[in-house]
Copies of this chain bind each other. A is one copy, B any other.
């Protein structure tokens, strides 16, 4: 138990907290940009920090394949390797093994799979995953679990969550406790309330530095996700951070913060930066659309990112039409900055007890749509 978490304000179910790690403080609610292969795609690490991001997520699956955990360890750990001296959370690799690889064999012991890069065989178990995350020098290690795609029958989810809880225990046992480092358990149970309760109880018995809500944003839709979030976070310890894995769109995040979630990660802002989609106060904008061709306005009035400060929509449209890397760089930066502005807004709203007003304005603005599309 070596990560201190301090809750400085609670409004309804929502919390404003501070998570203390060896590499600095994370203010929650927090959004973690994804740095899959030891880089947040198309961003200099200084630029990621400039967006306000205080913690990154690294993918154990990708890093164990390339460049390999031993090499990262030899280079002084992931922080030094990728020149990011703030906190890092790593996932267990389990989810990517299940979704990205072929020829996998799942047993109680772990998963045997073939690398999507070169077909080479690997074995990943809870113990092995924790060991890899240790070598990466991750501040927040995640338990290895199994994640079931929804909808799924009760018996299937039950069998899976039971194994995941045995894996949670094995993960915790394999974790080497150090000051400023911690391990999070992951609640599973799909959209079955009793299985979520069972999972929460098992995790609390084991004891973790934080608790993730897993198995959502896997095809169930926002309505089902919010239904689960109406009860799932409250089953987890009130004094520890709650992390909703792989979520999500801006409106998912606002809804989840209202339901008591503290941490998020998602590839949405970075991936969208590579497909010409921008997030703004007034909803998403596809910058490839011909209506931007001669538009001298910034993408989002009032945004302080380099794209909005220095360039017109016409210019970004031009870069995208020409497939210029700078277009990807600027849109990625804007999108991450948008997410961080959203989190800053949520944190301030909790601090000042204006969260309901903030959320109402957020949904109203999003509903307006981009100005020219009115």
Contacts and interface: CB of A to CB of B under 8 A. Distances in A.
A81 B312 contact: yes
Given A67-B314, A71-B314, A318-B66, A328 B325 contact: yes
Interface string A333-346: 00000000000000
Contacts of A325: 41-42, 325, 328-329
Q: How many copies of the polypeptide does the oligomer hold?
A: 2
- Chain B CB within 10 A, most for which of A66, A311, A315: A315
Interface in A276-313: 293-294, 296, 306, 310-312
Interface in A1-52: 37-39, 41-46
Contacts of A353: none
B324 A37 contact: yes
Interface in A66-111: 66-67, 71, 74-75, 81-83
A131 interface: no
Given A38-B319, A39-B324, 5 more contacts: A38-B318, A41-B326, A42-B329, A71-B293, A81-B315
B75 A296 contact: yes
A360 interface: no
A371 interface: no
A296 B74 CA distance: 9
Contact of A43 (B42, B71, B306, B326): B326
B81 A326 contact: no
A322 interface: yes
A41 B330 CA distance: 12
A321 interface: yes
A198 to B, nearest CB: 40
A39 B319 contact: yes
A43 B319 CA distance: 12
A16 to B, nearest CB: 33
A11 B325 CA distance: 41
A319 B312 CA distance: 31
A355 B315 CA distance: 42
